[in-house]
Structure 1
Amino acid sequence: MFTESRFTMIVGAGPTGLTLARQLARHGVPYRIVERSERPFDGSRGKGLQPRTLEVLDDLGLIDRFLAAGADYPSLRAHVPGGHHDFRLDEWHEPTPSVPWPNLWMVPQWRTSELLAEGIPVEFGVGVTELEQEEGGVRVTLSTGEVVQARYVVGADGGRSTVRRALGVEFEGETHEEERLMIADVRLTGLDRDHWHVWPGSERGSFRLGLCPLPGGDWFQLTAPPTDLSPGQLVSSVDPSITVTEVGWRSEFRANIRMASRFRVGDVFLAGDAAHVHSPAGGQGLNTGIQDAYNLGWKIATGDERVLDTYEEERLPVAADVLGISTRLHRGHVDGSADAMRRDDPVLRQLSLNYRGGTLAAEHRSEPGAVRAGDRAPDSPLAEGHVFDLLRGPHATLLAFDWAGPLPELTVPIHHLQDPEGYAARAYDINGPTLVLVRPDNYVGCVTRDPADVAAYLKLIAIP
């Protein structure tokens, strides 16, 4: 007979698993996080943090650390015969009252993981070898020989996920073995750090070498098509005045574009690369994984089956859409499109991703505004502080706009907004007395003019 345990086993200590650990910790949910590698990842790999991810990091209390560790993306300098020309991946976006961090922010993945891991007791050198679902939980066999009984298991263990394979979940999609990219972290001399340097290939739209300066040190991320040349030889072949002095992490990416057919099987969940793998084009993969964890963490804390079911309901369609965007950008590179380097599609910033029409999106207005249930909750300056200051933390939050009537006793913070300049009303597109219940992951859950709807919604998301 299974002896029920309340802890959650997180398998994989990349950005997805670490974000989930932080989410569970602040909700007071016991967890263990194991990582089969012997040490933390030390490469730059996924280096771009999208605006929505920066908002997640703000909610987790980490935004200042990440802003100090990173930098804006530099303009690209294309080195062509006879000179060079400069351009940007995307135009610069000025912060607005509703979007405080509107631009892509560069932080090497090793540093992202390091910041997320602070205070998290990762068990390195420990993997999972077997899973067995039983009534009320999961029996997990670890590579150390230890057998534990977890209430839930979350596979955040990458594209070759042991957890996904143990579940027998299909990883649908395709791998293009012929489409590969070498990636390496290098130190070098003879090149300025004010630009992302690119050397085009001999054919129109082709690419020979890229060197992107990484913040927080003197490393560059090198990207290039596969070659028999070493990184040093390759760099010297495009410009003999540049000398590679050290090669750190190195890998070869292959075009592997896949998604799990299910994100939940019983008491086991898949998140991040274990659930979906993308082309690096567009900087979506790491960000989508972090937001998987952000969505799942508070739902595990409720322990409510209906709420847990909404993880797959909400995140699988998002992953499918993101996969489509990444694939489209990747094909542009492969096909040599003239605008293949452009990253100005606003969808890439992930601010418009929403859960409209889902189980946890209760829109009660007959004529909703531009922001409605299921959407990201925007920021806004108030008489004192900002909306994000009110939302920060593991709780759901009730925002009362122009509300003078009574409210029932609720177990969530209630804020009658002091909005003399009307910024918040414009950000939320509110007209007249309105109640906006924001979920713990800072998506709008319920919008109404009837307090009874708020009480009913809190019961729906298992908050008494």
Structure 2
Amino acid sequence: MELNSVKETEVLIVGAGPSGLALACDLARRGVRALVVEQAAALFPGSRGKGIQPRTREVLDDLGVGDAVRTYGGAAPVGMTWRDGERQGPYDMFRRAAPTDAEPYGEPWMMPQWRTQEILLARLRELGGDVTFSTALTGLAQDPDGVTAELSTGPVRASYLVAADGGRSTVRRTLGIPMDGESVDPAPMLVADVRVTETALDRLNWHIFTGDAGYTTLCPLPGTADFQLVAQFKDGEPDTSPEAVRELVAARTHLNPQDVTEVRWSSDFRPRAALAERFRAGRVFLTGDAAHVHSPAGGQGLNTSVQDAYNLGWKLGQVLRQGAPPALLDSYEEERRPVAADMLGLSTRIHRGEQERGAATQQLGLGYREGPLSRGRAGLLEAGDRAPDGPAGDGRRLFDVFRGPHFTLLAVGTDTGLPAYGGALLHSHRAAACEAYGKGLFLVRPDGYIGWAGDDTSGLTEYAATLGLDLKLG
């Protein structure tokens, strides 16, 4: 093979799902060359991962798509239970909290997965990137300097490869990384996007139908004319044909087959929880469903996947662009695998009715206190905690100060001197007071977590160097 016949890039992302697209957006705004390839001819067409938790809304806002998410999404509707064609009353399955200074998003947001992916792809194109569709990975090989991937369109050479190619990940199987798990529920399930006549069912509630055959739900999807249908099968196997979907709705609800005017997409699955043994093999990283597969209960899968990408993106950027030690990339698995394991357990308990959807599902309390990049504490916070929002003291919010690919050194209620120089990727900000922080210095990572905290700058320069930051104190 001639060297000039091999296409070159810095990061090859295999898969254009939520994690792959989020990672591509993050790398693009860092000036990192990334090639995104997707085996399918177009983006995933279904609504499957429709719940966006408050923490993920913060992530999407930082990536520059917060306005689009607000425009095309909506609050999760309150449930309405039915029996024998009669309403039995409301049932709200979610914890809903009013926004606060520290937590600007208080309730889960609803948006079909296909829309989330469209929004991220549009953002990627704004940043100068794109997706190469109809391109499959057929093999890969690693050496100390990079990865050579065999694609259906030809070979690609990359410094790093990221597997974002779903639960049946070709990359993971090619690497031979085991994925251990369990069946969450022996009953198979059907999920479909359907349209229903306006007079047959209102769009004000998430409609829940119980029966001997298994539960059935019809959830209106904000920003569309669709409902997401989810049906459990205690006996038999799901038939995903449009005719069978119509008959299923008629058999389990008060609707008639003709009330379902269109079946736009349908699929079947068996709820499963599984976790990859490793999230990294040399220069290859696993993200999203390639690394962990969730029950849809609790709405954790897509959210955990996007946050995988958010954790990995800045680290790749620091190594490839800012001279950070390659060992920084070890922290991806060390930080994200324990989080994924916890979220898998949460999803499984909710599916089995062992735990209610509560604050934990919002993912605002997740952090990396025990992680390898967390140093110190100050005021009310410890390194590894999510950096709260709050008034910045200059008419802005702290999330406005943090937004972007940079680190932020935040001084709250202290006159301690700030760095005279930290490079383009370190911004400094001083706030007279912020209730959620207390008093101290806080180095906020690009992914919105506190990396270092202290009462003064002791140890800050040495810590910053491990992240590729050339910090000079005045």
User: Quick check: 1:177–1:255 contact (8 Å CA) kept in 2?
Assistant: yes
**Mean alpha-carbon deviation: is it higher for 24-33 or for 396-405?**
396-405
2:360 alignment counterpart: 347
Q: How many residues align?
A: 441
Distance 1:234 1:300 in 2: 47
Q: What residue identity is the alignment partner of 2:390?
A: S
Distance 1:457 1:290 in 2: 27
Distance 2:11 2:463 in 1: 26
Match among 34, 47, 51 for residue 54 of structure 2: 51
1:142 alignment counterpart: 151
**Mean alpha-carbon deviation: is it higher for 153-162 or for 175-184?**
175-184
2:389 alignment counterpart: 379
C-alpha spacing 1:12/1:391, structure 2 compared with 1 (3 Å) = same
Q: What residue identity is the alignment partner of 1:138?
A: V
C-alpha spacing 1:463/1:42, structure 2 compared with 1 (3 Å) = same
Give 3-state SS (helix, strand or coil) of 1:197's partner: strand
Q: After TM superposition, what 4+ stretches of structure 1 lie above 4 angstroms from structure 2?
A: 1-6
User: Quick check: 1:410–1:455 contact (8 Å CA) kept in 2?
Assistant: no
C-alpha spacing 1:199/1:4, structure 2 compared with 1 (3 Å) = closer
1:326 alignment counterpart: 347
Give 3-state SS (helix, strand or coil) of 2:81's partner: strand
Residues 64-83 of structure 1 mapped to structure 2, 5 A cutoff: 64-81=67-84, 82-83=86-87
Query: Which structure 2 residue ranges, 5 or more long, are not aligned?
Result: 320-324
C-alpha spacing 1:360/1:176, structure 2 compared with 1 (3 Å) = closer
Report the CA distance between 1:6 and its aligned residue: 5.5
1:89 alignment counterpart: 93
**Mean alpha-carbon deviation: is it higher for 448-457 or for 183-192?**
448-457
Residues 342-421 of structure 1 mapped to structure 2, 5 A cutoff: 342-343=356-357, 345-363=358-376, 365=377, 369-383=379-393, 384-411=395-422, 412-419=426-433
1:449 alignment counterpart: 455
Query: Which structure 1 residue ranges, 5 or more long, are not aligned?
Result: none
Give 3-state SS (helix, strand or coil) of 1:456's partner: helix
1:250 alignment counterpart: 266
Distance 1:128 1:248 in 2: 28
**Mean alpha-carbon deviation: is it higher for 127-136 or for 220-229?**
220-229
User: Quick check: 2:184–2:295 contact (8 Å CA) kept in 1?
Assistant: no
Distance 2:25 2:341 in 1: 26
User: Quick check: 1:174–1:258 contact (8 Å CA) kept in 2?
Assistant: yes
Q: What residue identity is the alignment partner of 1:165?
A: R
Distance 1:216 1:451 in 2: 48
Provide the alpha-carbon RMSD of the alignment.
2.0
Distance 1:317 1:406 in 2: 36
2:166 alignment counterpart: 158
User: Quick check: 1:398–1:413 contact (8 Å CA) kept in 2?
Assistant: yes
Q: Deviations over 1:361-413 (max 9, x none)?
A: 011x4xx5542100100000233111001000000000011232333423111
Identity fraction in percent:
47
Report the CA distance between 1:174 and its aligned residue: 2.4
1:192 alignment counterpart: 202
Match among 190, 201, 215 for residue 182 of structure 1: 190
Match among 265, 282, 296 for residue 312 of structure 2: 296
Match among 265, 275, 286 for residue 270 of structure 1: 286
TM-score with structure 2 setting the length: 0.89
User: Quick check: 2:37–2:135 contact (8 Å CA) kept in 1?
Assistant: yes
Give 3-state SS (helix, strand or coil) of 1:359's partner: coil
Distance 1:407 1:116 in 2: 35
Distance 2:9 2:221 in 1: 41
2:42 alignment counterpart: 39
C-alpha spacing 1:389/1:176, structure 2 compared with 1 (3 Å) = closer
Q: Deviations over 1:27-76 (max 9, x none)?
A: 11101000001111111100000000000011111111101000101111
Distance 1:77 1:241 in 2: 19
Q: Is 1:439 aligned to 2:442, yes or no?
A: no
TM-score with structure 1 setting the length: 0.91
Q: Deviations over 1:251-293 (max 9, x none)?
A: 1121221111000111000000000000000000000000000
2:328 alignment counterpart: 307
Distance 2:339 2:318 in 1: 22
Q: Is 1:123 aligned to 2:138, yes or no?
A: no
